[in-house]
Structure 1
Amino acid sequence: MIGSLLAAWTKLRRPALLWGVYAATILVTVLVTTLTFSLADGGAPAGPPGAPGTGETLASLAEPTGLLRGLSGSVSVFGIIALCVAASATAGEYTTGTLRNLLIRQPRRVRLLAGTWAAVALFTLGGVLAATAVGAPMAAVLAGGLNIDTTAWYTADGLATSARTLGQVMLAAAGYATLGTALGVLTRAPIPAVALGFGWLFLVETIIVGTVDGSSRWLPGQLLSAVASHGTAEVGFAAALVTAAGYLVVAAAAATVSFARRDITA
């Protein structure tokens, strides 16, 4: 499995892909963090926490969760990026014809798939860490400009809360990478895999959430976002984590069975 991971990582660390994806995650975090702080007001919250300009106040941003509020608010875009990278990396092995060569070196298909998934997951988590390294100082600078008291950020409780938030965002990002890997294996082509993943997360789920009450408790993208945000008004953290894990187990099982049993024709 280690060899499979290193083989997949060699492709993922190409400068154009590595710096392009990491720059995108950093840019999204900076944008969301800036909007979160610049659109916050001093009145009572007018919407759900975590929604820039609708639920954040200067007081809420002074709470222990304020330091990484922009990071958790960016997870939906992180998810789309992670899913697309994972789907392209996995399905690309079929379309380029390199999968046969990989199977010659590692004939145990499940190990090869596990190593590829692990490489994609590590790549995704690296992007989250890069975004955190920029987003946290950005939040501190913006808080200073708005005279927000950030004392609670740096207490033991605040640091523990920030560590929890980072862990939850990483869990959600790894979940998106898992869905992308499964799509890549099942479709065997990068364009359909990316189109299906992007279309579902960005279009279909948005429409369903806007028209069906309570649907966010059952949609995989919404559940992963809830995991990153430590739960929402509609679904708690534990329920979101368990339900999302169920989706991921089913997706991983389907991809594993398909990868292990289907013939390699290219």
Structure 2
Amino acid sequence: MNGVRSTWRSLRAELVKVWRPSTAVATGLLAALSVLSTVLILGLADDPAPGGGPPAPGSGDGAVGFTVTTTQLTAASGIARGFAGGSTFTGLLVFLVVAIAITLEYGQGTLRTLFLREPRRLGWLAGRMILTLALVAVALVAALVLSVAAAVVTAGIRGIDTSAWWSVDGARALATSYRNALLASAFFSVVGTALGVALRSTAVTLAAGVAWMFPLEHIIEASWNGAGRVFPGLVFDTVGQGGVADVSYGDALLVGTAYALGAAAVAALTLTRRDITS
């Protein structure tokens, strides 16, 4: 009961920080990334081949990584293509925001003062994580709405038929993409929190987390096909995309959940057993 009360107090205390300008900036950046991803994917989609069939991947005017055809975009799932394609950028932003926020608590001495008044550290951590997930969920709704609007405008400019988008299957595709993006963001958020609690330094946390989960993992993946099934950043990204060619959605979700639970355990143990001033 005390743990629940402590978590509720943490939620109420953290809500005060929600009204800071930084929250609006982070939400705006997330929405902007979703819109940018949508415009790029629809704008760079390959046109059908003259013979009527879709072109081979990468053979049209699409850039590498955006091998989508306009024929594919006319399907019901086309309405969610842009939003799902931005999952990597969304995960990076969520990781950055969470890691910076948690390490600043140490750098500014906020946690030391807080834990003098409220010694139940796990309650604070739980409340912090719950509120972060709630904020990400709201921000993703705004990003999804703007992504759909950008998709409609871009499709109109390119002459892509969107009649199938406004069907039950289209709504299901949007719901699925939102769920996947939320899960992937939650995974990145938990890992960012754990690294921040363990390392406590903004520079070190960002250097370790960003350098490993984004460029290094992708470099290793280029020479080892199994990297996408093992490394956290690639696994989380696979969840956000709903599965990729080499890794199924179910496998990625299982591994991602294991990483998130492990990271949460590390954060809890580090926070409770380590002196806050060390």
Interval of TM-score (by shorter of Structure 1 and Structure 2): over 0.9
Matching residue within 17, 26, 31 for 1:21: 26
Aligned residue for 2:55?
A: 44
> Is the partner of 1:55 in helix, strand or coil?
coil
Matching residue within 138, 144, 154 for 1:132: 144
Aligned residue for 1:69?
A: 81
Q: Sequence identity, in percent? A: 35
Unaligned stretches of 5+ residues in structure 2:
1-6, 49-53
> Is the partner of 1:212 in helix, strand or coil?
coil
Aligned residue for 2:270?
A: 258
Is 1:191 matched up with 2:203? yes
Per the alignment, do residues 51 and 236 of structure 1 end up closer, same or farther by CA in structure 2, a change over 3 Å counting?
farther
Aligned residue for 1:11?
A: 17
Q: How many corresponding residue pairs?
A: 263
Matching residue within 81, 93, 106 for 2:105: 93
Per the alignment, do residues 192 and 101 of structure 1 end up closer, same or farther by CA in structure 2, a change over 3 Å counting?
same
> Is the partner of 2:222 in helix, strand or coil?
helix
Distance 2:175 2:257 in 1: 21
Which structure is larger by alpha-carbon Rg, 1 or 2? 2
Q: Does structure 1 conserve the Cα–Cα contact (< 8 Å) formed by 2:95 and 2:189?
A: yes
Aligned residue for 2:191?
A: 179
Is 1:147 matched up with 2:159? yes
Q: Structure 2 length normalisation: TM-score?
A: 0.89
Larger CA deviation: 169-178 vs 139-148: 139-148
Pairwise CA distance, 1:51: 8.0
Per the alignment, do residues 123 and 152 of structure 1 end up closer, same or farther by CA in structure 2, a change over 3 Å counting?
same
Partner amino acid, structure 2, of 1:5:
L
Q: Structure 1 length normalisation: TM-score?
A: 0.92
Partner amino acid, structure 1, of 2:57:
A
Q: Does structure 2 conserve the Cα–Cα contact (< 8 Å) formed by 1:68 and 1:136?
A: yes
Partner amino acid, structure 1, of 2:41:
T
Q: Does structure 2 conserve the Cα–Cα contact (< 8 Å) formed by 1:91 and 1:185?
A: yes
Q: Does structure 1 conserve the Cα–Cα contact (< 8 Å) formed by 2:88 and 2:240?
A: no
Distance 1:221 1:45 in 2: 29
Pairwise CA distance, 1:8: 2.4
Aligned residue for 1:56?
A: 68
Per the alignment, do residues 51 and 184 of structure 1 end up closer, same or farther by CA in structure 2, a change over 3 Å counting?
farther
Written as runs of structure 1 = structure 2, the 5 A alignment for 1:221-236 is 221-236=233-248
Pairwise CA distance, 1:25: 1.4
Larger CA deviation: 239-248 vs 83-92: 83-92
Q: Does structure 2 conserve the Cα–Cα contact (< 8 Å) formed by 1:226 and 1:235?
A: yes
Distance 1:200 1:119 in 2: 26
1:102-146 CA distance string (max 9 Å, x none): 223322111111111122222222322221121111101111222
CA RMSD of aligned residues (A): 1.9
Q: Does structure 2 conserve the Cα–Cα contact (< 8 Å) formed by 1:64 and 1:162?
A: no
Distance 2:37 2:246 in 1: 22
1:208-257 CA distance string (max 9 Å, x none): 11222231111111111111111100110100000111111111111111
Aligned residue for 2:176?
A: 164
Unaligned stretches of 5+ residues in structure 1:
none
Partner amino acid, structure 2, of 1:234:
D
Distance 1:201 1:13 in 2: 30
Distance 1:13 1:107 in 2: 26
Distance 1:135 1:106 in 2: 42
Distance 2:110 2:90 in 1: 28
